[in-house]
Amino acid sequence: MTLADSDRELVVEELGREPTPAEAALFENLWSEHCAYRSSRPLLSAFDSAGEQVVVGPGDDAAVVALPTGEGESDGEEEETYVTMGIESHNHPSYVDPFDGAATGVGGIVRDTLSMGAYPIALADSLYFGDFGDDHARYLFEGVVEGISHYGNCIGVPTVAGSVAFHDGYEGNPLVNVACIGLIDDPDRLITAEAQQAGNKLVLVGNATGRDGLGGASFASEDLSEDAETEDRPAVQVGDPYTEKLLIEANEQLVDEGLIESARDLGAAGLGGASSELVAKGGLGARIDLDAVHQREPNMNAPEILLSESQERMVYEVRPENVDRVRAIAERYDLGASVVGEVTDGDYVCTFAGEDGERETVVEVDAHFLGEGAPMNDLPSEEPPTPERDLPAVDVEEALESVVASPNTASKRWVYRQYDHEVGVRTARRPGDDAAILAIREAVGATTDGSATGEGTEGVGLTFSAGADPNWTDTSPYDGARGVALENATNIAAKGATPLAAVDCLNGGNPEKPDVYGGFKGIVDGLAEMCETLSVPVVGGNVSLYNDSPTGPVPPTPTLAMVGTKEGYDAPPLDLDGRGDLLVVGDRTLTGGAGDAGDAATSADPRLGGSEYLSQFGGSDRYPTLPERPADLVETVAEVANREATLATHDASHGGLAVTLAEMVHEGVGADASLPSAGHLFHEQPGRVVVETTDPAGVREAFEGVVPVVDLGTADGSGTLSLSVGGAELSVDAAAVTEWRGTIERALE
């Protein structure tokens, strides 16, 4: 590890001397792109993080939002229920070691949740790999899913939502983004990562410290090399989910007993990062005794102890009189505990004696300078080009099977059936639908009968959606990112919920390349603009840059994890009932709306940019135009979804209406639908919902003046998907559709 010359000059100027080896290593990691956001922070002010529901916004281990109180009930603080939200990436480690890289990504985001005083209740994984037909991409895919499954199942936190995408741009650099939500059922339990008072002790609780994960932060801030799988293996942490489970329960007891003043997960840059950031946020300093750290390997030196990213460790600020009780609780859960230092009013100081016993000061710096002193990068950017229209000529029947059977749009059942998505008895809507629903019975007005489902059940339904589409953002970073935000909000609304807040994981390539940085800037601006339009505060997130490999940069990928709320846990299913009319809500092209000046698309010729159709058959086009009133659209979709006459709802996006209808039909229940052209069947404009209803007039009335509502056809008991597309008649049995959609399962089983 080496500190860049320009950074070393700043450090020398601040310290008035050359940095020690431990200081140089600490600055290199904490001033890396991964920790300091040197290229991305100048852009992040575009996000609106404010809102009356926001309790803790960006900058802590996780964000905290308050659930809305029930109508007519007290909204006093003592009755509020908080939800924590966090998201992280573990991209480079998952390439080098897919199982451990993905598993420790889960462990890290769960500990971020613990550090806020919350109990983790759900996970979402958004995964991106190279072409599914490539053996190495499939190896990474299987290893990552196994790692997430193993860790999440062992710690008892259900994985209930997420996404999987395959794209050539991830061939040499997969992306593994994991989100976690937690629950704080009493505001007094809330903890932050801001040190409170000089004189308090810093206690390290959890696994012993080893040499695994050394330099993980700097490793995550570099392009992957051809030899990364062997050369960078030591930078990948090794997880122990059984210890994490003990840490979850110990943390719960520590919080219950009010023993913690502040807390920080040991993630990037290990103890050095966590402890220095903790005290810097409080405007304080610390004195750390590195010899006091409980270690599992002999002869570790000061930089190794400081920067080790060994997993399942937390640092707590504890009042001196509570230290013995913290030790006792750690011992009860068979966890290590060591008093490693003390909060001070001075600098951040680390001492070390080592084998020779001669104690020396190895770090003495201002904590705020260490954490916030990295200069921001002023990088040039280039606007991405606008695609030209070049559409392939494809038989519609061939296209239907190809798009429905694509690994991108096929069933992800092989993935989510490996996860225990019902542990914790909160899951009221399982994976495979537009959004998961979790039963929050601790909320105001909730029952305590343990019921998680059923019409009329009291309590709050917390909806959860996460994902992105690289085809969209590769075509148009700005417009595609707007589409990602709208799609997640539509997923939530389709289950009858109102979006509450979101966190993002912004993934990009090497920002020093102007075209790559231009694409990254586009996804930031697009995501921020649409979230603000929807009044959804972006309360936290993560940035992962330098996702480049010898095969090139990844597509700009703005993973969004969004939560929403509704009364009760009941929601219309995705599956058709078979007794209603089918309407498509929000499709601009079916009414002849061109979208904007110069747009060549008409009602007979919608835009196909970013579609799976073009991904399968080649060609290019501009990205679809989104609805003009997206906030009103989302609000009205949620209201209509909760009506008794609504029998089924399903967001229409990836794969277009072809995939939407294919996912809705099932054994014994079919659909008969008509569309003007193949373009209408395959274009992927977000902000559309297919509604099965027994009251079509009521749905039209609800959306009047908001978005178009168009008759699509009817649901029936035929068990057949019948389509009339521009005069071509297609009829596919639901069993055949299910077979098409089993692409991933057939390949891996």
The H-assigned helical ranges of 173-322 are: 216-219, 228-231, 241-256, 270-281, 302-307
* Rounded Cα–Cα distance for residues 652 and 661 (Å): 9
| CA 129, chain centre distance (Å) | 16
* CA nearest neighbour of 232 among 505, 549, 517, 552: 549
238 contacts: CB under 8 Å, gap ≥ 6 = 100, 104, 212, 213, 311
- Report d(CA 319, CA 337) in Å as an integer: 15
Quote the CA–CA distance of 703 and 249 in Å, as a whole number.
Answer: 48
Question: How are the residues of the chain apportioned to helix, strand and coil, as percentages rounded to the nearest 5?
Answer: 35, 25, 40
Are 508 and 521 in contact, with CB atoms under 8 Å apart? no
- What distance separates the 2 farthest-apart alpha carbons in the chain? 87
For the CA atoms of 738, 98, 163, 152, the dihedral, rounded to the nearest 10 degrees, stands at: 100
| Token code pair at residue 364 | 């003495």
Burial class (CB in 10 A: 0-12, 13-18, 19+), 397: middle
What does the block give as tokens for 484?
């990602």
Per the structure block, which two tokens stand in for 568?
A: 């009760």
Q: Which residues pair with 708 in a beta bridge?
A: none
Measure CA of the first residue to CA of the last residue in the chain; give whole Å: 43
Q: Which is it for the CA torsion 679, 684, 688, 689, positive or negative? A: positive
> Which residues are marked as active site?
34, 90
List the beta bridge partners of residue 436. Answer: 464
For residue 10, which of 25, 35, 29, 31 has the smallest C-alpha distance? 31
Q: What's the rounded Cα separation, in Å, for the pair 215 and 535?
A: 39
Q: Is 601 left (phi over 0), alpha (psi -120 to 50) or beta?
A: beta
* Contact assessment for residue 569 and residue 115, using Cβ atoms and an 8 Å cutoff: no
Rounded CA separation 684/625 (Å): 10
* Residue 210 neighbours by CB distance under 10 Å: 19
Please give the single-letter amino acid code of residue 588: R
